[in-house]
Chains A and B, each alone.
Chain A
Amino acid sequence: MEILIAILAGVLMTTGVYNLLQKQILRIVIGTVLLSHGAHLFILTMGKLKRGQPPILMDGIENYADPLPQALILTSIVISFGITSLLLVLAYRTARENNTDNMEKLRGTENE
């Protein structure tokens, strides 16, 4: 199963990078979102995917899922959400200011 998840993470990263290399701002943001999904699954695979109970302590249960990757991913989800929303607003403002969302046209002017 881990190999399948690893492949899934790989596919997510592939599509993420592919979107990142596009010209429209919105696609780039989508690319970053896909990349972070891939990274989360990546972290999840690092811990063991062996079935156990959710890491909520209850009497009589010995076998729990690894809680540490979950805590890490939780932190990461929140941070990537913060970044994504900032990027989106930035994209919106950029498009408004420059009347374009084409990255090839958005270049710094020289001698600035």
Chain B
Amino acid sequence: MIFAVLIPLIFAIFVPMLSKIKHKIHTGIFVFFIPFSIFLYFIRFVGNDFSPVRHEYSWIPSLGINFDFYLDGLSLLFVLLISGIGSLVVLYSVYYLHVSERLGSFYVYLLMFMTAMLGVVLSDNLFVLYTFWELTSISSFLLIGYWHWRERSRYGAQKSMLITVFGGLSMLGGFVLLTVVTGTTSIQAIISQIDVILESNYLPLIMGLILLGAFTKSAQFPFHIWLPDAMEAPTPVSAYLHSATMVKAGIYLVARFSPVFATYEWFFIVVSIVGIVTLCWASYMAVRQTDLKGILAFSTISQLGMIMAMLGFGTKVAVFAAMFHILNHATFKGSLFMVAGIIDHETGTRDIRRLGGLLTIMPITATLALFGTFSMAGIPLPFLNGFYSKELFFDSTLHLNEVINPVANVLIPIIPYLAVFGSIFTFVYSMYFFFGVFTGPKQFDKLKIKPHEAPIGMLISPIILVLGVILIGLFPNMVNGTFLIHAAEAVNSAVEYKKVYFWHGFVPELYMSLAVVGIGTVLYITRKKWSNVYHVLPGKMSFNKLYDALVKNVDIVSAKITNTYMTGSLKLYMTIILAAIVVVTFIVMFVTNGFQMEYSNLAEVTFIEVAVVAIIIIAALATIFTTSKLGAILITGVVGYGVATLFVIYRAPDLALTQLVIETVSVALFLLCFYHLPKLQKRKESTRSKVQNGIISIGFGALMTMIAISAHSTDWFDPISDYFLETAYKLGGGHNVVNVILVDMRGLDTLFEIAVLGIAALAIFSLIKLRNNKEAE
């Protein structure tokens, strides 16, 4: 099975080579055999006696991450959709994309996507599922931005990437929590531990994060905004990714985790409400669109909302209806996208306001569109599969009393009305799509291309899909018992096979359908009169604007924040660093009670030391208050010599010697530097005393004093100096212990200190000698 998943990816390596011969044979013809053979491989699993298949492949066993594939009814449904529609889309793209396009890239992305999608629906491992999930986001990003020189394409690609990756990452968080709670990464093993999950405190978080992933991917309200912008992709991509497969990945995820969450009351509430709201809002918005693909995009969103709502209901009827509608939606929506692509291809526009009267010119396309749109609208005719799923949907909204859920009781009675509301608008935009394009006045003078019927090759795929629509419509129970029931069982094991009939007598569902058709017809005819309603709702509000503002303001706000502290002023940076040191260390000292003071161990104070210390303190303070730079330099010298005197007092002859010499050289250097400063700069500026500087420096000094006193007052262990004193002569052969330490016992320090001096000397030399050309002139 791993080969079935990875074959598209492996084949993608050879696609660029094949695309070199594109002028003889279209690359898509080679590609076609890949999804088709996968379809043939998986179709043999369909049957009454289907039982789940499991294959395990080791990847990172130490982390419990393995390529575990699990094929049950639900996966099988999706796998067949992916490979079946994939074949048709590739076939369609052969005629849709001209050989002058970058076909190599196109098919590489498409095959990458195919692998990713097969991986998502077949993985039994959470993290492998996540890997493939993000691969679908990436390949979708590449495909939306296929015509990357168009600004709208780049915008759409970025938008879909940001939104779906946002959801994907939160889903990863949910997966990690799920793994922590259950201790396993296998989805089937997790499902068997429902009790553990339901008792966990993290349950709301786990469900929320995973649902966020599903809602963003499946374009649910309010994350639906990326899908209409993804219509900038080539039409085969829209038909494949954005109607039949990728957007159903979120549906798949919800269905897959239904067994875990279904008994949790918030699952019903969140998923149903989001689904119903998406259904109503998107079908309402679809009527407003003027772009054919825009209508189809909102239509897809609304149909996905409907499926999501049914999964949220989670009743026996609803789950089965959801599976049924996944299949039906893939057939009619795929064909409608292809029809939109044909119209675009043959007339040069997708703007419904410029189209009209194509019925006689493109009769085959019109017939296909007729079946597609009428099925989408759910018109009660016995050869349209959309009607059955719509009626099952109504049925499930009416039978929600199966749900025993105290929180949802308020909700249950309103749901059927909302469902009817959404369906009415579905009816309106379906009619608008068909009649707007194919009937009405002919206005061919506005078109760039003289319209004509599409080539037969382009029509094959939509014809096959529409045949699917009609076949399922005529024999609705054809695939149910052998195929869909297994899918439904994977979601809700209590589900039972219910025969679907066209006619069940005068039941409430029928009245609902009739109401949809009746009110829908009235609304369609009068739509010009009420179209002003869109100025009220959404009016100026729009989630797109919210998204744009968000993206823009993130930039602006972060730039503002950065500009407040990254001013380029060294002084400010020093202030921040020092203030942070002072504050943090003081807090730590206070919290840990770190300040200690011990008097017993002190050396006695003599007059001469006090005098030297006093001189140094006065000199150090004078460096601040002096107004002359020359004075400051000389006073610094005083400090240095004072320290040297202290070294003498504290019995450190080598230190005193070094300090004296170095202080002398330093002062000389200071003076040299002072002398060479440009004349302009020789202003004698009095040091600006600022309170802020004072506070920070006094805080820092006080901190250091306290640390020094505490360090001295706590006596953790004896010094190791006795060892140096004992062995300096015995092992080192020298009397001067300090020097023996420097060159013998800790000679490495000295070596690198020499290196420091050497590097400093070289740097000074090059600073002085090397000039750039500009200065040499």
Contacts and interface: CB of A to CB of B under 8 A. Distances in A.
Given A1-B603, A85-B760, A104-B569, A57 B623 contact: no
A56 B700 contact: no
Contacts of B7: none
Nearest to B597: A3
B658 A1 contact: no
A104 B605 CA distance: 44
Contact of A54 (B571, B646, B653, B756): B653
Nearest to B709: A6
A93 B767 contact: yes
A77 B658 contact: yes
Interface in A83-112: 83-86, 88-93, 95-97, 99-104, 106-108
Contact of A57 (B685, B725, B753): B725
Contacts of B764: 85-86, 89
A37 B704 contact: no
A70 B570 CA distance: 34
A4 B605 contact: yes
B756 A13 contact: no
A81 B764 CA distance: 13
Nearest to B740: A67
B694 A18 contact: yes
B736 interface: yes
A2 B597 CA distance: 11
Interface string B635-662: 0100110010011001111110011001
B704 A66 contact: no
Contacts of A17: 578, 693, 696-697, 700-701
B757 interface: yes
B673 A89 contact: yes
A58 B767 contact: no
B14 interface: no
B760 A82 contact: yes
Nearest to B693: A21
B666 interface: yes
B669 interface: yes
Contacts of A29: 670
B569 A70 contact: no
A50 B569 CA distance: 45
A108 B724 CA distance: 50
Give the secondary structure class of A's interface.
helix
Contacts of A1: 602-606, 609
Interface stretch (B323-331, B449-457, B614-622): B614-622
A54 to B, nearest CB: 4
Contact of A55 (B711, B737, B761): B737
A33 B697 contact: no
Contacts of B763: 86, 89
A34 to B, nearest CB: 6
Contacts of B666: 33, 81, 84-85
A90 B767 contact: yes
Interface string B320-340: 000000000000000000000
A5 B613 contact: yes
B603 A57 contact: no
B698 interface: yes
B700 A8 contact: no
Nearest to A95: B677
Nearest to A57: B735
A18 B737 CA distance: 37
A75 to B, nearest CB: 5
Contacts of B603: 1-2, 48-51
A112 to B, nearest CB: 11
A14 B650 contact: no
Contact of B652 (A42, A50, A70, A91): A70
B756 A79 contact: yes
Contacts of A23: 571, 688
Nearest to B674: A26
B680 interface: yes
B743 to A, nearest CB: 10
B676 interface: yes
Contact of A81 (B662, B678, B694, B708): B662
Given A4-B605, A6-B709, A64-B737, A70 B760 contact: no
A101 B605 contact: no
Given A54-B651, A74-B738, A90-B767, A101 B681 contact: yes
Given A15-B697, A24-B685, A37-B640, A78 B757 contact: yes
B605 A15 contact: no
Contacts of B609: 1, 4
B676 A96 contact: yes
B700 A75 contact: no
A92 B720 CA distance: 44
Interface in A15-57: 15-24, 26-27, 29-30, 33-34, 37-38, 40-42, 44-57
A99 B679 CA distance: 9
Given A55-B651, A95-B678, A34 B620 contact: yes
Contacts of A108: 568
Contact of A78 (B567, B569, B658): B658
Contacts of A51: 603, 651
Interface in B683-705: 685, 687-688, 690, 693-694, 696-698, 700-702, 704-705
Nearest to B701: A14
B606, B640, B704: most-surrounded residue (chain A CB, <10 A): B704
B768 interface: yes
B669 A85 contact: yes
Nearest to A101: B681
A93 B606 CA distance: 46
A38 to B, nearest CB: 7
B106 to A, nearest CB: 37
B557 interface: no
Contact of A37 (B621, B643, B720): B643
Contact of A82 (B709, B737, B757): B757
Given A56-B736, A67-B737, A70-B738, A12 B620 contact: yes
A91 B704 contact: no
Interface of B: 567-571, 574-575, 578, 601-606, 609-610, 613, 616-617, 620-621, 623-624, 629, 632-633, 636, 639-640, 643, 646-647, 650-655, 658-659, 662, 665-666, 669-670, 672-674, 676-678, 680-681, 685, 687-688, 690, 693-694, 696-698, 700-702, 704-705, 708-709, 711-712, 719-721, 724-725, 728-729, 735-738, 741-742, 746, 749-750, 753, 756-757, 759-761, 763-764, 767-768, 775
Given A3-B709, A74-B742, 8 more contacts: A4-B610, A23-B688, A24-B685, A33-B666, A45-B711, A55-B651, A68-B741, A70-B738
27 contacts: A1-B605, A6-B705, A6-B708, A8-B613, A11-B617, A11-B621, A13-B701, A15-B697, A17-B693, A19-B623, A33-B666, A34-B623, A45-B712, A55-B725, A55-B738, A57-B725, A65-B652, A67-B721, A77-B658, A81-B662, A81-B665, A84-B666, A85-B666, A92-B673, A97-B775, A100-B680, A107-B568
Closest 3 CB pairs of A and B: A14-B701, A10-B705, A107-B568
